[in-house]
Chain A
């Protein structure tokens, strides 16, 4: 499915089997978003940026 970028209104393609927490990025502005669901509806929010304790 296609979702409008909250920042630049570019067209972001989200896979149909997307899972909450999955990261998508806008092909126009490069901003990264995280997929989440509210009342069964797919939405996007700003993705977390890398934190000091991230890793494996």
Chain B
């Protein structure tokens, strides 16, 4: 029997759905809270004992917990969904853009700067309104739509008071999208489902964490192609690919390595948890 370990730090709908899916497929699924665990990284074997499994699905909501725990598990030969490098790249918008560009995946125009003055020039170059994003962060947090230079100066002043990571200024063109973006779920080499995410009233960001609404989207060849290519570009097994509709076609702006699907599964009718679990079991048997 395949033993699938699901590591978590906070139980969400997704982790429970994965557990149920695994059990229905006849796997021995163990949900392990790793928050308070302590791990001897010089032992050269999986420890603590509870983390011993044929495959691990990494579901920590804390990105850095997720990243370092994956490094530890991979170092002793455990296959992890997702791999360390995929998690590292997906967790950083700048590294994601670099990987996508190298793989020929279309992205919004992006300019990076390292100082306030550099950022002002970058914004000027991209043109207002522009978007300023932290390189690390999720759920739309601190993603700012900057409409003019006055607002830019205020936001940059605030940024200077934060951790040095927030002084990596990632400036992106604002795509005049219909008030929605697209999330496409890729498992292995297959795009399994897609949703439109409509921004909540009074909100320009379409993240479902900010009240965005999920509506089923019929996948087309273009979406399948860019999404699978994007997943490959970062080496992810299971990933949520976020795309924007533009005059230049679909542009990929973000990848999510611990993707949430509680809204997408009912909207699309696709059993996303089951698809992920089937893939995990296949990976364990390899």
Residue ranges of A at the interface with B (Cβ–Cβ < 8 Å): 19-23, 34, 48, 51-56
Inter-chain contact count A-B, CB under 8 Å?
53
Contact partners of A34 in chain B: CB under 8 A: 10
Chain B positions 232-263 with a Cβ under 8 Å from a chain A Cβ: 240, 256-260
Contact partners of B259 in chain A: CB under 8 A: 56
Main secondary structure, interface of A, reads: loop
Q: Contact between B258 and A53 (Cβ–Cβ < 8 Å)?
A: no
Q: A19-B31, A20-B33, A21-B33 are in contact. Are A55 and B138 (CB under 8 A)?
A: yes
Contact partners of A48 in chain B: CB under 8 A: 9-10, 35
Main secondary structure, interface of B, reads: loop
Contact partners of B138 in chain A: CB under 8 A: 53-56
CB of B139 within 8 Å of the partner chain? yes
| Assembled-state Cα–Cα distance A11/B257 (Å) | 38
11 A-B residue pairs with Cβ-Cβ distance under 8 Å, sorted by A, are A21-B35, A22-B11, A52-B136, A53-B63, A53-B64, A54-B139, A55-B61, A55-B139, A55-B258, A56-B240, A56-B258
Q: Contact between A53 and B11 (Cβ–Cβ < 8 Å)?
A: no
| Assembled-state Cα–Cα distance A18/B258 (Å) | 23
Q: Contact between B10 and A23 (Cβ–Cβ < 8 Å)?
A: yes
Contact of B62 (CB < 8 Å), options: A20, A22, A54: A54
A15 to chain B, nearest CB (A): 11
Contact partners of A54 in chain B: CB under 8 A: 61-63, 138-139
